Amino acid sequence: MVTGWVGGQPLRAQLTVDTDRTATQLADRLGTPVLELADERSVAERLDDGKVRRWRALELEPLGADRRLTDAVISQLIAAGARPAGEALAYDVALGVTVRPAPAGDVVAARLRQLATELGEQDLLFRQDAPEAVHDFRVTVRRLRSLLRTFRPLLEPSPAAQLRAELGWLGNLLGEARDAEVLEERFAAALAAVPAEEQLGPVRADLVGGVRSTRLAASARLVDELDGDRYRDLVDRLHTFAGDPPYRRGYSGADSRAVTRAAGRELRRVRNRVAAAEGAADADRDTAYHEARKVAKRVRYAAETLRPLGRKRARRLEQAFKAVQDTLGARNDAVVARRILVAEGAREGIRTGHNGFTYGVLAERERHAVAEADAAFAPAWREALTAGRSWSKRPR
């Protein structure tokens, strides 16, 4: 359950910890509990040398309070001498571990560490079979690969390329399971909207059942690989890389201009890709828009990294390109589904006891979905262009 954090490193007992916890509920004027304040006093003994450390921690949990009330209580606690815990965890303090912060302005290292931690969280949620776990896990991997791709001019080529390749291997495993999951849900929902008299032959069993079998097989492969040595090695490599990113000689990590230039290159790439898609012949347009979507996604993820350098503009850039990514994603989903439906319909239409009619009905629905996505793309792209120009013109 902790593989996503520890990779292939062995687990060993480090501490014995005794904690005395007192919880107090804070009520409003009507007597309704709105906050719980936990006061924890801990004593930890290290098992290697017997050293003892003591600390006190306060945790504030909302029970229905709004943000202003929570912030007011936090302000009172700080005025009384409390201080934010920061990045250091209580057990780090007990072990005497010093958490080395990223250098001031090193937004790439900060984002890498954040995503490395997030990978462990998504790994755990997947193993607990949480809703949307495969999707969220895949998105974290995509963010990591995108960061390594966008900011590769700042990184030593070899270790960054090796890590990105291994993340690609993991992303493909997650993609097989997730894509089948999406298709199963999409086809089931589409069939639910088709009148019973238009569902000819065993279309539900063949279409939805076939995709479900693909999903189960892909999920089984994913589970096996997540318990394997290659994945554990990947986790080890990721945490080593994120802990001390191997920058190219001459780059300190704190040069914001170099970071924004790297993101600017992705902005230029996505404009070129969209222009190519808009001018492509019908046979090539679907592929061209899919390629544009990949770069739009990199711009969005770059904007997440850039937030500390210009929060409002970066947030606008992120939201604008998320809309572009969503519309192009909806378009690609419909294109992929339609291709499958046309191919399966042609195959089922010549099998005894089967019928390709319903596949044609569903394929036509997907054609309309493509048209709807195209209509939604135009305003989303205009806003993205405006957000991109706003970021490019920001004060240096």
CA 63 to chain centre: 28
* Separation between Cα atoms, residue 203 and residue 254, nearest integer Å: 58
Rounded to an integer, the average pLDDT of 240-258 is 87
What is the DSSP code (8-state) at residue 227?
Answer: T
Which residue bears the tokens 């999409």?
A: 186
pTM above 0.85, yes or no: no
pLDDT tens for each residue of 138-197: 999 999 999 999 999 999 999 999 999 999 999 999 999 999 999 999 999 999 999 999
Which percentage of the chain shows pLDDT scores above 90?
66
Ranges of each domain in the chain: 3-95, 106-254, 257-396
Q: Which CATH number is 106-254's, of 1.20.1440.130, 3.10.270.10, 3.10.20.30, 1.40.20.10?
A: 1.40.20.10
* Band of residue 396 on the pLDDT scale cut at 50, 70, 90: very low
Q: Quote the DSSP letter at residue 234.
A: H
Q: Residue 91 pLDDT > 90, yes or no?
A: no
Q: Which amino acid is at 212?
A: R
Please report, for residues 73, 203, 344, 346, the alpha-carbon distance to residue 195 in angstroms, rounded to integers and kept in the order given. 57, 13, 20, 21
Is residue 20 scored above 90 in pLDDT? Answer: yes
Q: What's the confidence (pLDDT) of residue 104?
A: 56
| pLDDT at res. 348 | 83
pLDDT at res. 55: 87
Whether the predicted pLDDT of 30 surpasses 60:
yes
Mean pLDDT of the chain: 90
Per-residue pLDDT of 110-152, as tens digits, reads: 999 999 999 999 999 999 999 999 999 999 999 999 999 999 9
